[in-house]
């Protein structure tokens, strides 16, 4: 752990050079798609994104990976019925569970039924025509056509 992410909330925090690279790229890219205070949908075990970008969870859950797919589907439906502005989506493409990430990519975990939740998020994104706006080796940002 010898590298830093150039971010005011991470001063004195060290990580691996590979991790610092992909996180810095994500934080830099996010500035083009959202601003502090925006509601964002973040999943695949990366809740620190909210803290680092001063954004808020669109579903009211900072770590939806631990929610049931049924609950997530209900929360999304509630937001859709309310006519809430569609959020930008930020997600990891591979697992952050292993200590070597982003090196030695591992499949996303499914031990808490995260696969079902990811399916619900995928259906939501498809329904609303989300497109890939940005990607690096580890993260993706998706946006709805009207954002």
Q: Which residues on neighbouring strands pair with residue 57, listed in sequence order?
A: 40
Question: What pLDDT score does 125 carry?
Answer: 98
The owner of tokens 């498809």 is 126
141 has a pLDDT exceeding 70: yes
Quick one: pLDDT band at residue 147, thresholds 50, 70, 90?
low
What would you report as the CA-atom Rg of the chain, rounded to the nearest whole angstrom?
A: 15
In this prediction the pTM is: 0.94
pLDDT in tens, 63-90: 999 999 999 999 999 999 999 999 999 9
Q: Where are the domains of the chain?
A: 8-143
pLDDT in tens, 80-139: 999 999 999 999 999 998 889 999 999 988 877 889 999 999 999 999 999 999 999 999
Strand order across the beta sheet in which 88-92 lies: 56-57, 39-43, 88-92, 139-143, 131-135
Question: What pLDDT score does 146 carry?
Answer: 79
């Amino acid at each position: 752990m010898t590298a830093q992410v150039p971010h005011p909330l991470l001063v004195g925090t060290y990580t691996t050079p590979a991790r610092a690279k992909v996180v810095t790229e994500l934080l830099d890219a996010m500035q083009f798609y959202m601003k502090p205070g925006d509601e964002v949908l973040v999943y695949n075990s990366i809740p620190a994104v909210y803290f680092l970008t001063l954004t808020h969870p669109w579903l009211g859950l900072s770590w939806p990976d631990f929610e049931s797919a049924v609950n997530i589907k209900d929360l999304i439906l509630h937001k859709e019925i309310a006519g809430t502005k569609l959020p930008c989506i930020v997600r990891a493409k591979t697992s952050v569970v292993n200590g070597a990430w982003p090196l030695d990519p591992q499949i996303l975990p499914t031990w808490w039924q995260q696969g079902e939740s990811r399916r619900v998020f995928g259906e939501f994104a498809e329904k609303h025509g989300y497109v890939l706006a940005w990607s690096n080796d580890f993260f993706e940002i998706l946006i709805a056509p009207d954002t």
